[in-house]
Chain A
């Protein structure tokens, strides 16, 4: 081995020269490839409270333990994940996907095969991490006489006049529309897509903003750009903690599960897989969900979860009976097709 290398040094072969210049060229053109040797990991970040909790409980401890530096990249984008495989240029190695996207991602072959780090933790090659909710929140200064109770009230623009906002994301919006139309949570799946779109037609002109990023949803609620919103619970509490006059209900809140996934063929594969295992192990996960009020999906984490955090967790015993879960295995349509249709519906 040593001898070989010395030989090569003496007589720089054509091949070595080619390798060298190729390496120089790639280093110039794509710094991230040259960086693969360095201990560095790029993680797709949701920003806001998610990032704060992840930084303190997942990223920093992981770096301390392994020496691998973590850099975050935002915003979270499913298409970016897919584009990485197409272009071969990796912006991030690890990301979290919701239930709707993970089926899409696994079908498209854009995420790595993973092993389950704990019993029942693997779903479509993503490792289950935490549960979060999309709930209904509103401005208390909207001047209504009554308090909204359910998604049906979200659709009731006469009783509760004002601008509204929902996420620009079909998989989360369609079930909400069906609930508003009177479908019972237990009869929701498989979804009646036609009926959901028909119900959405009714509210369309009242939706001022179809939000696309978590921080955007906080901002429009906090600043009063809209009076009523379907928003992630962590983002709602962010607005409430900022002192905005807002309120919410757990009733009919929609639970979604977030899964860690590794981008297919990423140059930082080993570090990425190590991180996913670390992030879903009991103690770091417990710290993470305690700070950001998520529900831990690794049952072993629950014994470490702080009691003080529980009232704000969608999966805590008090709150769980009021919420409903996404059921991606029995969803009722091709998520990709439906989201295309949703987008065309939006613009029409």
Chain B
């Protein structure tokens, strides 16, 4: 019986669909339906119409928050690159042992809950924390408070997202053929010019991968900006949460959520046309 069923389905190519069916049904019920609910709420709450989108797209507050979200995501991406690129380079240049140690450290950071890392930054940057203490010890008079500012939340986000960037760049660098570099050197390319004309183009895919990943995750970041940031520089996800939690403004929150989703998907779509989405998370 089982054999005949399986041969039957194999012939008609139904077997893979049978294997997929439970997950497909599940995702339809518990992923697509709630997602559709957000879309529906955005045009029906509190009353049918496009009023929510009008408010989100034209209201000065919402425009400011979205612009700020973009700016922060871009800034975090650039900072991750500034942190990740040199480190990935050094991991390739240094001894095997040291590279392994750094790799272990990055993996450890990656696997540590981001709530823990957010909290750790709160400890580090607090007014009685080590950073201020260090500044005072080396002679700074009355250093300014840094917690609950744009600086503190950006710093923490860079720390949390840097492993994505480092791993992406590192894995690309590892694949670079050393002989290419050597032959470039033999033709007289040194220092900056070697870097610009040989090394940078070869590592570009890693940079692109890491940047898109960091940028997209940062766009939807909720926890860290809410806990460490300043209320004047809110990000989109934080404001969505606030609209729902404080005002039960499901319509407005949903409209913002849909805008955030569309923006995220556009970034991913542009990227996938260029590189293919499956490579991003490889």
Contacts and interface: CB of A to CB of B under 8 A. Distances in A.
A163 interface: yes
Given A223-B126, A224-B127, A209 B65 contact: no
Interface stretch (B76-84, B92-100, B169-177, B240-248): B240-248
Given A86-B248, A208-B145, A347 B127 contact: no
A82 interface: yes
Contacts of A225: 126-127, 145, 147-148
A196 B64 CA distance: 23
B11 interface: no
A223 B232 contact: no
B68 to A, nearest CB: 9
Interface of B: 59-61, 64-65, 126-128, 145, 147-149, 230-232, 234, 239, 242, 244-248
A210 B232 CA distance: 10
Contacts of B234: 347
A77 interface: yes
Contact of B239 (A78, A223, A339, A347): A347
User: How many residues of A sit at the interface, in one of the four size bands?
Assistant: 20 to 34
Nearest to B59: A344
B248 A83 contact: yes
26 contacts: A77-B245, A78-B246, A79-B245, A79-B246, A82-B248, A83-B248, A86-B248, A168-B231, A204-B232, A205-B232, A209-B148, A210-B231, A223-B126, A223-B127, A224-B128, A225-B126, A225-B148, A340-B247, A343-B246, A343-B247, A344-B61, A347-B61, A347-B65, A347-B239, A348-B60, A348-B64
A210 B229 CA distance: 11
Contacts of A209: 148
A346 interface: yes
Contact of B148 (A82, A208, A339): A208
Interface in A148-171: 163, 168
Interface string A221-255: 00111100000000000000000000000000000
Contacts of A346: 231-232
A27 to B, nearest CB: 21
A interface, over-half SS: helix
Contacts of B245: 77, 79
Residue of A79, A83, A340 with most partner-chain B CB within 10 A: A79
Contact of A348 (B61, B242, B246): B61
B256 to A, nearest CB: 12
Given A223-B126, A347-B231, A348-B64, A163 B145 contact: yes
A27 B226 CA distance: 35
A334 to B, nearest CB: 13
B229 to A, nearest CB: 11
A343 B243 CA distance: 9
A224 B132 CA distance: 12
Contacts of A343: 242, 246-247
Contacts of B147: 225
A344 B60 CA distance: 9
